[in-house]
Copies of this chain bind each other. A is one copy, B any other.
Amino acid sequence: MMKAVCLLSGGMDSSTLAYLARDMGFDLYAVHFNYGQRTESRERLAAATIAGLLDAEEFLEVDLGYLSRIGASSLTDHSMVVDGFVEGDRIPNTYVPFRNANLLAIATSFAEARGAEAIFIGVQSQDYSGYPDCRPTFIEAFQKAVDLGTKDDTRITIRAPFINMNKSDIIRKGLELGVPYQHTWSCYRNEERACGECGACHYRREAFSRLGLRDPIQYEKE
């Protein structure tokens, strides 16, 4: 059986990703990151639920508490106010410096230790409009670092199947795969009812509404 490490935050994209990897025939090694973000417990619950539903071989939880101490992001520095949806070129203050490289490095260590041949990461086109570590060119550069920085007989491919998809495309795909979106969590601010206003909520709601669908999670204001 082929093995894949899957980065599973518990959000809409990564949950769809896990369903897709399973559908492609991979045994799943899920890795979930706690980096001191405000909504960590809710995200963790979502990720564990999805991993359980998909019979993952392992659910590795990694604490990146150092990212809070490094700071410089409203996701991890709770004295900063989380940016709402940001238009244009400015990088939102939710940017955690070089976060995806941290996540991919860990995923690669995990994959090499388990003999997995793929790493699934859910970055997609709307992310890389803002975050530099979501750009396709970054993923390609990191792949090169993986090729050179692991054993010569290790072959690990980073798969980012959503990189050219928008969130509506992802939901459409996820509904085909039976992803239970009611168990996923995206909001950056709240853990009970989603705020509906942060960047993550903004894109999520917009994606469902473009498809003429209602998001199954609850929002503070409908």
Contact = CB atoms under 8 A, between A and B. Distances in A.
A149 interface: yes
Contacts of A117: none
A24 interface: no
B110 A101 contact: no
Q: SS class of chain A's interface: helix, strand, loop or mixed?
A: helix
B66 A70 contact: no
A151 B70 CA distance: 16
A106 B62 CA distance: 14
Nearest to A95: B151
A85 B55 CA distance: 42
A152 B132 contact: yes
Nearest to A101: B105
A148 B141 contact: yes
A13 B171 CA distance: 51
Given A96-B109, A97-B108, A145 B138 contact: yes
B108 A98 contact: yes
Contact of A66 (B63, B101, B135, B147): B63
Nearest to A148: B138
Contacts of A125: none
10 contacts: A63-B63, A71-B113, A97-B108, A97-B109, A98-B109, A98-B112, A99-B109, A100-B149, A132-B151, A144-B145
Given A102-B109, A132-B149, A132-B151, 13 more contacts: A60-B66, A60-B70, A62-B66, A95-B151, A97-B110, A97-B112, A98-B108, A98-B112, A101-B145, A101-B149, A105-B105, A141-B144, A142-B145
- Listed from nearest, the 7 A-B pairs whose CB atoms lie closest are A72-B113, A97-B112, A133-B149, A101-B105, A141-B145, A138-B149, A138-B148
